[in-house]
Chains A and B, each alone.
Chain A
Amino acid sequence: MLFPFATPVDHALPFVIALMIAIAMLCRRRAAILLFSIPLLVACAICFPDEHVRLLGYGVVVAAAFCGASFAIEEWTFANCAGLTLVGIALLRWIARDHVEIWRETVIALGALLIVAVIRKSPLAVTIALAAAFVTPGVPTRTLLIPFAVATVVAIFTLLTRPSATLSRRERGETLHHAHLPLPTGEGGRRPGEGRASRPELGVVPAFVMLVLFPWSGVSARAIPYFFRATRATPAQRLAPLNFALKAGEAIEIDVPSDATSIAVSAANGFRLKRDTFVGTLDGRPLTMRDLADWGFMRREQWWRSSNRLPRVPAGIIRGYGYDAWVDGAGRVAVPAHARRIRVVADPHLPPNARLQVEAFER
């Protein structure tokens, strides 16, 4: 073991380094600069013992290298675009997972490469292909069509906006008139349309956002607002666990610890419940599925089928790494001021197998 830290992302660091080498190879003359992502990754591993900061450090380095490559790649050929896309997909989908289903991942990668094939080769093409692969959960199987659908839309759009399709009759005549002449070459000896100066800036921000969170890409793909809500939930915020699961109509009274400010609640078997569904009360105040979500709704297997969304104030904790990462559906509800005892009641109209879960008080 090289480092004293032991998350699956840390274990995958050699693979990440290999991907950084692949990026550098795409940049050819500027490879020497891009390779500095390797010592920076090592520096993050050494200097940041806090897991969140360290993994985010990896994310920043990887995202910066990827976006840097958008500026450093000299010629945007299919091979370069495809290479960069595959590296991005590997970072977002293949790292730190318990189980990678090869056939699903192959189909998704092929879909992403199809997008790159049908669109003008540029950093933006890579970003679009990456985004399509990023939001495709792969479960259920029909979601594998997402990248292909994107490729179809992009192909139609490209066809409609191709310069030759919009030429006026007179311009077409002129073109035909000069047809015997060699096609004028653009910058770098490329033909018009092929070699137009790319604008990496357009694709940089979304690519950066996707990649900076690669250690938890599953969460960012399915619920990116989680990272930007007021305070990120951590296990340390939680006081002693309560772990009550209330059936329809059940009620419970709980003593409130002196340092508690809120309570974490979630639902069990509630991933089909609509957002405005009334699920119970907390000291008479109504609780709906906007305040909480099904505990496991964000798992890759359930997310597509679920009607839930991220709770208004999420109290879920990140579980897992890479594309398998997910956040439990706990929502944070404020405890009434100066309350010594609170009463939680599950709505009597809850489905028979659904439960209102009272997880823990929070500081």
Chain B
Amino acid sequence: MITIALLVVAFLALPLVVFRGTSLARYLTFEVATYPIGWILWRLLQPDDAYFAIVTFAVLKLAAFSIALATAKDVRWSAARAMAIAAIVYAFVIPAQMRHVPDGDEPFYLLITESLVKDHDRDLSNQYRDLAHSSTGRTDLTPQIGDPRGPHGEQFSRLEPFLPIVLIPGYKLGGLAGALATIALLGVLLVRQTVRLLEDEGIDDATIRALFPFFAFAPPIVFYAARIWPEVPGALAFVEAVRGVRQRRIKRAIPAMLFLGLLKVRFVLIDLFLVLQWPSRKRSTHLILVALIPLMLLAIITGSALNGHSLKELHAPNIIQYEVGFFGLFLDGMSGLLFQAPFYLLGVFALLHWRSMPRSFRIGIIASLPYIVSLVPRAEWHGGWSPPLRYITVFMPVLFLGCAAIWKRSQPVAFVVVAVLWTIGLTIHGLAFPWRLFHIESGENYAGEWLSSLYHSDFSRLFPSFIRINHAALVASIAFVGMLVLLRFVRVPQVLIAPLLAIAMLAGFRYAMQPADKIEFEDAHVIHNGGALYPEMYTVERFFHRSGWTLKAGESMSFLARAGTSRLEYAAATPARIQLDGREYRLPATRQEHLSETVYLTRTGRVTLRCLDGSASFDRMRHE
């Protein structure tokens, strides 16, 4: 009840920050009207999950406020007011995110902070021994793979220590909540400085007001604004550095670049290309300063200038991996812009109008290139065990600037409405279920899994996956390039977008209800009666393994499949006997590799695969 009361107060405060006169009166009338409507919907739906319902209501109200902010006439607007709005909203994001314990790298950053505060050292050995008294709330932590050990048996972390240092004041004041509040504070500053960036580049207030909620209250920023990752502080440093370079103000740029490089050693790559765009005769001196200071500090603190990283990471393995990572960043269903932050695709389209884009946009994009080029061929381009878009969150201010420039230029209303609807869904989902921001790299995403489990049919194949590459990924890549080319020269009538989207959804639904050509046995559409996921859920870098579902004698799974010949791919330590569609098959034992067995189905529809004898891990079944 206290949370609801605070929400009501917050939603009353939001319009007071920006609206005046008639706009304020009209919005407050609307504000009051939303509560009876909310109550009516509550009684009609009688939701089982009250928290989810409240989050949904709050996010929808925030969306309504954002629309009013974009359209109201009597508005007082400035970067400081944007910051105040963000502060109010982030105050609620912190408790929402605290429903899930720190995950991914977060608890390790916090452990370093704890060690710095309590022991005044970086040795985490005693922290691992006494996890019960840690603010992380995690008693299952063990050193990460690649964590260095000291000469006297000290256990260090491979993570850079600067973020934990930044968290110290907040941690001392409020433990975990204080650490999260520190990040949120930096997030609030990020919002302010991003608005300032847009103002510097001559983007008008109306455009900024219309679009700023996409930056501040939408993924990925909103999901990183109250979690312990270096992405939001990094984005703040990046935007300040870009502004500094753009305005030729070295006193602004150098500290920001140093901050950026200290947060994460990979960010030094960004610094280098920022300095290279420096219009100054002292460029080489600055270059050395900006690049060397973070590396030297790291070398002093951790004993390694690259902190466990290697220059080999910059080596390109092959061109295919570049393609996978590149298109994955844009289109992947689990970690690509298209599905996780669609609004920022406008920033990608801004690249097509390079010459007419704001100077800061060009500076930022050029600075991001070496980082992106080093990121995309890595197997972990998607961010690993983290909220989506981890590695490119730092560039969001500049992409946002590109989006604003494109909006100002062509006002693609229909695209933005699609982005709004999807973003509202993403925000509700991420705030109501923060643990779902972390997803195993299985080639599925939550939307696909949810629909698949609803209909027991493979909906995940509709979403492009570049982690486990599927047909949708190929189609989406070609369509994406085609769209980029097409939209450069052709303007699609806005009124056609919604009907076309509806038709696409219908066609997708009908297609997804048909049995798939390829059945991945670990996927959500398969009904598992016993058995276990292989490799297990939290296997480190699980995406390197061929995954599947292990069945022992007596266990089974059923799924929709097509009639005719298929190849069943599996691994088995000992020979196994299975029954599929009423026929028995003997599967020879495999060694390290997977084998495939030809199977035949007499009919299209739901079939059951039962393990009669032995045990086998079933990877996939491919129709021929």
Which A residues lie at the B interface, using CB under 8 A? Answer: 2-4, 17, 24, 31-33, 35-43, 46-47, 49, 53, 56, 60, 199, 201, 204-205, 208-209, 212-213, 227-228, 231-232
Which residues of B from 409 to 463 have beta carbons under 8 Å from A?
A: 413-414, 417-418, 421, 451, 454-455
Nearest CB in chain B to that of A43: its residue: B505
Given the contacts A201-B30, A212-B40, A36 and B45 also touching, CB distance less than 8 Å: no
Given the contacts A2-B510, A56-B45, A204 and B33 also touching, CB distance less than 8 Å: yes
CA distance A231 to B43 in the complex (A): 9
> A205–B45 contact, CB under 8 A?
no
Residue B497 CB within 8 A of the other chain: yes
CA distance A40 to B505 in the complex (A): 10
B73 to chain A, nearest CB (A): 11
Which residues of B from 472 to 513 have beta carbons under 8 Å from A?
A: 494-495, 497-499, 501-502, 505-506, 509-510, 513
Chain B residues within an 8 Å CB radius of A36: 414, 417-418, 421, 498, 501
> A39–B502 contact, CB under 8 A?
yes
> A46–B505 contact, CB under 8 A?
yes
Partner of B43, one of A31, A42, A227: A227
Partner of B44, one of A35, A38, A56: A56
Chain B residues within an 8 Å CB radius of A31: 495
Chain B residues within an 8 Å CB radius of A24: 495
User: What are some 15 contacts across the A-B interface (CB < 8 A)?
Assistant: A4-B455, A4-B513, A24-B495, A35-B499, A36-B418, A38-B502, A39-B501, A39-B505, A40-B421, A46-B505, A46-B509, A56-B44, A60-B41, A199-B26, A212-B41
Chain A residues within an 8 Å CB radius of B501: 36, 39
Given the contacts A201-B29, A231-B46, A38 and B41 also touching, CB distance less than 8 Å: no
Chain A residues within an 8 Å CB radius of B45: 53, 56
Which B residues lie at the A interface, using CB under 8 A? Answer: 26, 29-30, 33, 36-37, 40-41, 43-46, 413-414, 417-418, 421, 451, 454-455, 494-495, 497-499, 501-502, 505-506, 509-510, 513
Chain B residues within an 8 Å CB radius of A2: 506, 509-510
CA distance A32 to B495 in the complex (A): 4
Nearest CB in chain B to that of A57: its residue: B45
Chain A residues within an 8 Å CB radius of B36: 205
Given the contacts A201-B29, A201-B30, A32 and B37 also touching, CB distance less than 8 Å: no
B453 to chain A, nearest CB (A): 11
CA distance A68 to B616 in the complex (A): 56
> A32–B44 contact, CB under 8 A?
no
Partner of B413, one of A32, A205, A209: A32
CA distance A56 to B41 in the complex (A): 9
Given the contacts A32-B413, A49-B454, A38 and B499 also touching, CB distance less than 8 Å: yes
A59 to chain B, nearest CB (A): 8
Nearest CB in chain B to that of A24: its residue: B495
Given A32-B414, A32-B417, 5 more pairs with CB closer than 8 A = A24-B495, A32-B413, A36-B418, A47-B454, A212-B40
> B451–A46 contact, CB under 8 A?
yes
A271 to chain B, nearest CB (A): 27
The residue in A2, A37, A39, A232 that gathers the most chain B C-beta atoms within 10 A of its C-beta is A39
Chain A residues within an 8 Å CB radius of B40: 209, 212, 228
CA distance A33 to B454 in the complex (A): 29
B421 to chain A, nearest CB (A): 7
Chain A residues within an 8 Å CB radius of B44: 56, 212-213, 227-228
B44 to chain A, nearest CB (A): 6
CA distance A32 to B501 in the complex (A): 12
> A208–B495 contact, CB under 8 A?
no
The residue in B414, B498, B513 that gathers the most chain A C-beta atoms within 10 A of its C-beta is B498
CA distance A32 to B509 in the complex (A): 23
Chain B residues within an 8 Å CB radius of A228: 40, 43-44
CA distance A60 to B497 in the complex (A): 21
Chain A residues within an 8 Å CB radius of B497: 32, 35
> B509–A35 contact, CB under 8 A?
no
Partner of B37, one of A53, A208, A232: A208
> B26–A201 contact, CB under 8 A?
yes
A4 to chain B, nearest CB (A): 8
> A42–B41 contact, CB under 8 A?
no
A307 to chain B, nearest CB (A): 27
CA distance A60 to B41 in the complex (A): 9
CA distance A262 to B381 in the complex (A): 59
CA distance A3 to B451 in the complex (A): 14
Chain B residues within an 8 Å CB radius of A56: 44-45
Nearest CB in chain A to that of B30: its residue: A201
Query: Which 5 residue pairs are nearest across A and B when measured between Cβ atoms?
Result: A35-B498, A32-B494, A39-B502, A38-B502, A39-B501
CA distance A63 to B181 in the complex (A): 39
Nearest CB in chain B to that of A56: its residue: B44
Nearest CB in chain A to that of B504: its residue: A39
A188 to chain B, nearest CB (A): 14
CA distance A4 to B494 in the complex (A): 31
Chain A residues within an 8 Å CB radius of B509: 2-3, 42, 46
